[in-house]
Structure 1
Amino acid sequence: MTNRLKQAELATWIGIILNGLLAIMKGIVGWMAGSRALIADAAHSASDVAGSIAVLAGIRTAQKPPDKDHPYGHGKAENVATIIVGILLIIVGVEIVVSSSKALFGGIPVAPKGIALVAIIISIVIKELLFQYKARLAKKINSSALLAEAWHHRSDALSSIAAFIGVLGAVVGQHFNYPFLMYLDPLAGVLVSLIVIKVGYSLAKESSLIVMEQVLDVENTRPFIETVKKINGVKRVDELLARTHGHYIVIDIKVSVDPTLSVEKGHSISKEVKKVLLTKHSDIKRVFVHINPYQPRPLPSDLVDDGSLVK
């Protein structure tokens, strides 16, 4: 097991255990205190557990070496796990909207008990600590799935803050006989759900682009091109396509060499291109090189309107 996998698994297991405990605590206290916002927050933490399990499976699968059916490796398993986390967040968010809206429009709600505030404060502190820990580790080991899980924790902390405001307002409203303040608890439930849905959509969208093999833009590929242009024997970089494959990058590159070279020499240059890219750019893990015979490119005056050569 690689050090990267060990760190990611440890972080994920910590999240699973703490989220499980938080979900149970908030669920029980929310039911005892009669707080819609806290029960919604408990559901959010429960979705964190399911999401963490998906992330754990994705991280483990992503570490598998390339095989016959997956010649590019299994790196995208992390992105698939991220999409699952995003979808779970959206589903949970919609459910919270429905339940909180029913309470919001069903007459003057009953204010929750003050114990709900204690549970929410504990949740905010733990979730923010989890976010800081996992976000830093995700950037260190370049894991999109772990970063998604970190933002899942941050969204839970934000939703807990919304729940805290709602519960506090409802408690104050009941104590000082301000009925309109008692609507803050279910209103906070709706706000929590919107935060959850937004985070889920953003995570799923970003990972979907990677799964659909969107290539890196010119700005991000320029360093790779500059590296190859310096290699002895490479006359021109004809094309370079780079795409993320989970936590690493896969390169497809076409380079031109002297057309009079032997096949063996051309193959030697292609091996050097691959070696240099892998050595100088640690985020690249796969390189596929195609050798073209060098031909000077035609001047603009030699082209017709459709871009073809003038015969």
Structure 2
Amino acid sequence: MAKRRLVQRNTEAEAGLWGNAGLALLKGVAGWLTGSTALLADAFRSGAEAAQCGAAAIGVRGAKRLPRREAEPGGDDGAVQASNLVVALLTLVVGIEIGISAVRHTAEGLPAAPQWPALAVIAAAWAIKAAFFSVGGGRLETYALAVVLAGTAGAWLGGRLGQPSLLYLDSAAAFFVAVLVTLQGYRLIAAAMPGGKPA
């Protein structure tokens, strides 16, 4: 029973790793081509989630090498704890960098409106995540995608209607994603410390 549970967790973690990595690539390319800062920020968030799923997969593999009574992902393996801490620090740094980039983008002047394909990519990413794999994200995924969609759509609409104030919504959405990623990184660091509770 324990072995079967470990195999299932390993499968879920690997699905989350490759699925989030694919979404990060899709969002990153689309964000760059369409000029959506929010979509680029969400690409980095998906990349951080992929790294977290990768660390979870390492934890499961480490648990397979432990005796049955200790066979829990992330058990006492020092390498697993180290990988979890590295991923947590990486997530925190990514969140801070996204926030700095969003503020810098806003400070440079009136941003350009993102192109409409960004909206289609966000909706497609949401549908893919919901339909094919659910590892990583949860409510964080829902909040982030909802804000990214609203911010990108608002900025695109601002460009169409000639409303300059709406153009800042894209960068505002990127900053919101940065806050979410930074908080997640902080929670992961707390959980990775000895005696910490899972995030």
Q: How far apart, in 2, do the equivalents of 1:84 and 1:129 lie?
A: 30
1:137-173 CA-partner distances (Å, limit 9, x unpaired): xxxxxxxxxxxxx3x4543442222211111110111
**Alignment of 1:117 onto 2:102:** no
Deviation of the 1:4 alpha carbon: 1.6
Q: Are the counterparts in 1 of residues 45 and 177 from structure 2 also a CA contact under 8 Å?
A: no
How big is each residue's C-alpha offset from its partner over 1:83-127, in whole Å with a ceiling of 9 and x where there is no partner?
Answer: 444322211111101111111111000010011011111222333
Distance 1:88 1:8 in 2: 23
Counterpart Cα distance in 2 of 1:12 and 1:6: 10
Q: Distance in 2 between matches of 1:41 and 1:79?
A: 26
The answer to whether the 8 Å contact 1:54/1:84 transfers is no
- Name the structure with the higher strand share: 1
AA matched with 2:5: R
The structure showing larger relative contact order (alpha-carbon pairs under 8 Å, at least 6 residues apart) is 2
Q: 1:53: Cα distance to partner?
A: 1.8
Aligned match of 1:21? 22
Q: What does residue 93 of structure 1 align with?
A: 95
Q: What's the % identity of the aligned pairs?
A: 31
- Closer/same/farther in 2, CA of residues 9 and 63 from structure 1, 3 Å limit: same
Residue 152 of structure 2 corresponds to residue 167 of structure 1: yes
Aligned partner of 1:201: which letter? Y
Partner of residue 65, structure 1: 66
Aligned to 2:107: 105
Larger helix proportion, structure 1 or 2? Answer: 2
Which residue identity lines up with residue 45 of structure 2 in the other structure? Answer: H
- Whether the 8 Å contact between 1:86 and 1:204 is mirrored in structure 2 is yes
User: Take 1:96 and 1:130, find their aligned partners in 2: how far apart are those partners?
Assistant: 27
Two-structure CA RMSD over aligned residues (Å): 2.6
* 2:191 counterpart of 1:206: yes
Q: For the residues of structure 1 that align with 2:66 and 2:109, how far apart are their CA atoms?
A: 59
In the alignment, residue 158 of structure 1 is paired with which amino acid? Y
Residues 81 and 3 of structure 1: is their aligned pair in 2 closer, same or farther, counting only changes over 3 Å?
Answer: farther
SS of aligned partner of 1:113: coil
The one-letter code matched in structure 2 to 1:123 is: A
Count the aligned residue pairs: 191
Q: CA deviation at 1:63?
A: 2.7
Structure 1: runs of 5 or more not aligned: 67-71, 135-149, 215-243, 247-311
- The answer to whether the 8 A contact 1:128-1:153 is kept is no
Residues 18-27 or 120-129, more deviating: 120-129
What letter is aligned with 2:190? K
Q: Tell me if the contact between 1:128 and 1:157 (Cα under 8 Å) persists in the aligned partners.
A: no
Amino acid at match of 1:107: G
Which residue pairs with 1:147 in the alignment?
none
Task: Give deviations 1:38-87, integer Å, cap 9, x for gaps.
Answer: 11111111222222222211221123225xxxxx7871446555444432
Q: What TM-score does the superposition give when structure 1 sets the normalisation length?
A: 0.55
Task: Give CA deviations for 1:2-25 in whole Å, capped at 9, x if unaligned.
Answer: 212210111012112211221111
Q: What does residue 46 of structure 1 align with?
A: 47
Contact 1:101–1:186 under 8 Å retained in 2: yes
1:35 aligned onto 2:29: no
User: Comparing 104-113 with 154-163, which one deviates more in the overlay?
Assistant: 154-163
The one-letter amino acid paired with 1:163 is V
Give the structure-2-normalised TM-score: 0.84
